[in-house]
Structure 1
Amino acid sequence: MKTKAVRLYGKNDLRLEEFELPPIREDEILAKVISDSLCMSSYKAAIQGSDHKRVPKDIDKNPVIIGHEFCGQIVEVGKKWQDKFKPGDKFTVQPALNLKDNPYAAPGYSFQYIGGDATYIIIPNEVMEQNCLLKYEGDAFFYGSLAEPMSCIIGAFHASYHTQQGKYIHIMGTLENGFMAILAGAGPMGLGAIDYAVHGPKPPKLLVVTDINQERLDRAASIYTQEDAKKHGVDLYYVNTANIDDVENYLLSFTDGRGFDDVFVFAPVRELVELADKILARDGCLNFFAGPSDPNFSALLNFYNVHYNSTHVVGTSGGNTDDMIEALDLMAKGIVNPAAMITHIGGLNCVAQTTLNLPKIPGGKKLIYTNIELELVAIEDFKEKGKENPLFAELAKIVERNNGLWCKEAEDFLLENAKKI
């Protein structure tokens, strides 16, 4: 079986290549990838190359396939797994394998034959042994791709914790009916966090979302409205902190000076981390969600409050399998809709350039359909491009009927009519 895939050979060295996959062994599975959502973590791996903790040292000789937010269909199943999986099954993968001999190994970073930015892949035995190959029952493939980023958000909410005074017990999870702030929260992952905070199992009483980009804040407010949040018992506010002189006290004013029980930091900016620390309530939890590229990234922390007010810090890198199962379940039931994360669509041919320039490209998630050839296009540009290209003209009509969001109808039309790679 031949595959086309984007492989990492070294720092800033991504190549789209066609090559032969070896025959699968009895404990492996051959699969077709349909969609992959590009992640900033892939950008970090691409620029760091073998210096990245998940990337092997010999990628110059044995390159790895990038991409870890993917969804597809099983083509062939090795004998060992035929009682559990069958050809035609839709699937997604939890990339955090947590292997004993290599805890950092993950599809999309560490393997030659499995990664999201490919047409066909071989799923190795380790993935099934760790129960990280998950059947996907949904209709739209792109939701399967968004299950992984949603699982990261869910995992972060689960990793936050609170305590009871006088007891050495950690009560896991964000505080229900508490005060929550999401700093730098109008980006793609922030949108998912807003969705889960409002519609998930433990909504806060107050949710304040900050950013310095008014356009992103306006988009977030149009998708996750104050009116809808109120129906779920959440007072939701969007705040542009760019022109506020005293951001700390302004944010604290939403809590009458009490502070926030849960503060999430969605950008690796020192000043943002220090702001989060300053607005914590007693027993407040600072959740550092954004992964920095700099291994020496640091910020000041008020240890007086750590000692006397029980403030604390947590951080997670990805979610676990249970988090991903929860994400799939919430999407299947229509409780959360992470389609708001997606702002661009492209084909496999644009992956290398897009990944290497990800921080420079505005908007949210870049969704790739790996079996088509398509330039990276913003959803908001469909109508303009439709003046010359009937494909985009129809896609513009479809997303307009869906509140400007990517949807199953758009996916079906694209897969049926776009040029195959």
Structure 2
Amino acid sequence: MTSAYDRYRAADSELPEGAWTWYLHGAGEDNMGKDGAPELTPVPRPDADHMLVRIDSVGLCFSDVKIMRQGGSHPKLYDRDLSKEPTRLGHEVSLTVIEVGDHLKDRYHAGQRLAVQPDIYQDGKSTAYGYTIPGGLIQYHLMGAEMLETDDGACLLPLPDTMGYAEGSTLEPWGCVMAAYTQRRRLEPKAGGTMWIVGRPGDEREYVFSSGLDAPATIVLTDVPASVAQLVEGTTAARVAIRDGIGTDDYQALVDELTDGAGFDDIVMLDPRSAATAGAVATHIARRGTLNLVGETALDGLVDTDVGRLHYDYTAYLGGRGPDIAASYGEARNRCDLRSQGTTVFVGAGGPMGLMHVQRAIQQPDGPRTIIATEVSDERLTSLEDRLAHLAESNDCELITFNSQTAEESLHDFVMGTTDGRGADDVVVSVPISAVMAEADTLMNPDGMLVFFAGVPNGTLAPLNLSAVYLDNAQYTGTSGLTIHDQQQVVDLANQGALSPGSIVGAVGGMRAAKDGLQALVDGSYSGKVLIFPQIHDLPLMGLDELKETLPEVAAKLGPGDTWNDEAEKAFFNSQLGG
């Protein structure tokens, strides 16, 4: 006998006349839905240039909460009047194609399963799915050029038959985690860009610039040694500007004059000594720009660094002891992944994204051997251990948890004690608080890497030890968003059995529970991801630990640590659609 799950997978049932939909009509939770519930809207039929899709699962994200709170004032909604043109939340989506217009039949077919890559751009402008383009909190909707003809082509990823619906929805957050360990920074001088070389009066060192000095179209020199001035004379730069004797108060005027206020694509500081000056110079790095610090003497203190721009603008802090200025550049010197066999600290490890970072590190074949997961909630740390301890054991990885709120010693002292005073090889921060980011910097060993996964607004400063960048090759990285290639990497790892993406699911619910799911994110009710299944209407939100009481036939199929898997998903659909 064919099961309810198999019938659902076949996707050939008669379409309903109406689709339940959560529209956002303005800022605030009261403007989500109608009278606190989803609305019933007609199911459209596609024309030749569209296809009708069924939304199978939607992962909720704190970004959804931000949109709900801000409404049309959200940066990606461009002051849209949502009372006239509402949007829908939900960008972590797994879907099935139901009906295909004639002009799309060469690419898509009924029954095809796809995941959404929501970080969409049209003509260079962000039109993200679940933001500008209404998202997945609906049972059925049309897709056309807004999704299929973007700056990067179609923003849909085919899913293998072996991947479940919930797993498909987790590809977006998992892709963001993968992106954090791929090289997003520009690590060479920009061709045709503007470079500013800042010297220190009295520095007479003989520098060399073995490669890259011919890349910029404009080079600005400020108080550089004679050796550098001679090097620049031999380049093919179209323009050389000399601005000696200027101070930090003059920098903005220089930026306005020579870059129209955009900032310098590449900045080089030679023999820096003043932390305040280094911080002032760093303010004027262009988006995706570099600051190359070259010297042998430490700065006189920590540098107030824009940690928002590290995350959102991919500003790159590079350096070396010299005398070759070019030695600081390149991927060989500037790593982006966790150190093999090292020690990694995850700050904010108990939330959904933190859990994914920890799981990736555990399951990474050449990853760290010691992982310190920190959180301020014992309940979340217990959940983390329940979910991931079995993976750590099977991957020969030591998993240590630490609650800085209840421990008798500080996190810094704990990390130093665990590493015999060396500090961690890598520190990954999933907490968007500048003070936490600054504390994380103190946990690293001299050549460690600090990853700012959580973003804070541009202009947010944190004191960082930038001396370690050029004296010891410390790395500071941050990423925002993802590409479809990052999601494909997750699919490939899952197919290889090297990653179990569905294990991050923490709670499930039907369509009516979507609003409760968003509140659960605000309250921090679940350590794992909240998954909504739009085709299941009335199921209330429940954590996986509650399934033993509410849906025992589903709970019986959960994996080690009560983790979600394909068998549990089949039992879940059979329990809800079997009637």
2:117 to 67, 80, 94: 94
The 10-residue stretch of structure 1 (90-99 or 175-184) with the greater mean CA deviation from structure 2: 175-184
SS in 2 for 1:153: helix
For residue 209 of structure 1, report the CA deviation from its aligned partner.
1.4
For residue 233 of structure 1, report the CA deviation from its aligned partner.
5.2
Structure 1 residues 51 and 152 mapped into 2: Cα distance closer, same or farther (>3 Å)?
A: same
1:218 to 348, 360, 382: 382
Is 2:568 the partner of 1:414? Answer: no
Is 2:68 the partner of 1:50? Answer: no
Is 2:98 the partner of 1:82? Answer: no
SS in 2 for 1:417: helix
Q: Distance in 1 between matches of 2:60 and 2:509?
A: 10
For residue 23 of structure 1, report the CA deviation from its aligned partner.
4.1
Amino acid at match of 1:117: L
2:143 to 118, 123, 128: 123
Q: How does 1:17-416 map to 2 (within 5 A)?
A: 17-20=39-42, 22-56=44-78, 57-102=80-125, 104-112=126-134, 115-129=135-149, 130-137=153-160, 138-159=162-183, 166-170=327-331, 171-177=334-340, 178-200=342-364, 202-225=366-389, 228-229=391-392, 232=395, 234-242=397-405, 243-292=407-456, 297-306=460-469, 308-363=471-526, 364-372=528-536, 373-384=538-549, 386=550, 392-399=551-558, 403-416=561-574
Structure 1 residues 377 and 235 mapped into 2: Cα distance closer, same or farther (>3 Å)?
A: closer
Deviations 1:131-166 (A, max 9, x none): 321111134211101111110111112247897953
Q: Distance in 1 between matches of 2:104 and 2:335?
A: 35
Answer whether contact 2:339 2:426 (CA < 8 A) is retained: no
SS in 2 for 1:75: strand
TM-score under structure 2 normalisation?
A: 0.65
Deviations 1:224-280 (A, max 9, x none): 22x753654544322222224332132123333323332111111233211111122
Q: Distance in 1 between matches of 2:557 and 2:392?
A: 26
For residue 21 of structure 1, report the CA deviation from its aligned partner.
5.1
Amino acid at match of 1:397: A
Q: Distance in 2 between matches of 1:416 and 1:299?
A: 51
Q: Distance in 2 between matches of 1:123 and 1:172?
A: 39
For residue 367 of structure 1, report the CA deviation from its aligned partner.
0.9
Q: Distance in 2 between matches of 1:396 and 1:40?
A: 27
Between structure 1 and structure 2, the one with the greater Rg is 2
Q: Distance in 1 between matches of 2:416 and 2:141?
A: 50
Structure 2 regions of 5+ residues with no counterpart?
1-16, 188-317, 321-326
For residue 330 of structure 1, report the CA deviation from its aligned partner.
1.4
Answer whether contact 2:91 2:118 (CA < 8 A) is retained: yes
Amino acid at match of 1:7: Y
The 10-residue stretch of structure 1 (295-304 or 42-51) with the greater mean CA deviation from structure 2: 295-304
For residue 22 of structure 1, report the CA deviation from its aligned partner.
4.8
For residue 169 of structure 1, report the CA deviation from its aligned partner.
1.2
Structure 1 regions of 5+ residues with no counterpart?
387-391
SS in 2 for 1:60: coil
The 10-residue stretch of structure 1 (15-24 or 79-88) with the greater mean CA deviation from structure 2: 15-24
For residue 419 of structure 1, report the CA deviation from its aligned partner.
6.5
* 1:389 corresponding residue in structure 2: none
Q: Distance in 2 between matches of 1:140 and 1:312?
A: 37
TM-score under structure 1 normalisation?
A: 0.88
Structure 1 residues 217 and 23 mapped into 2: Cα distance closer, same or farther (>3 Å)?
A: same
The 10-residue stretch of structure 1 (80-89 or 24-33) with the greater mean CA deviation from structure 2: 24-33
Amino acid at match of 1:89: Q
Amino acid at match of 2:364: G
Amino acid at match of 1:380: D
Structure 1 residues 220 and 164 mapped into 2: Cα distance closer, same or farther (>3 Å)?
A: same
Q: Distance in 1 between matches of 2:18 and 2:461?
A: 45
Q: Distance in 2 between matches of 1:237 and 1:321?
A: 33
For residue 92 of structure 1, report the CA deviation from its aligned partner.
0.6
Percent of aligned positions that are identical: 28
Structure 1 residues 348 and 160 mapped into 2: Cα distance closer, same or farther (>3 Å)?
A: same
Amino acid at match of 1:142: A
Amino acid at match of 2:64: S
Q: Distance in 2 between matches of 1:228 and 1:324?
A: 22
Q: Distance in 1 between matches of 2:487 and 2:396?
A: 26
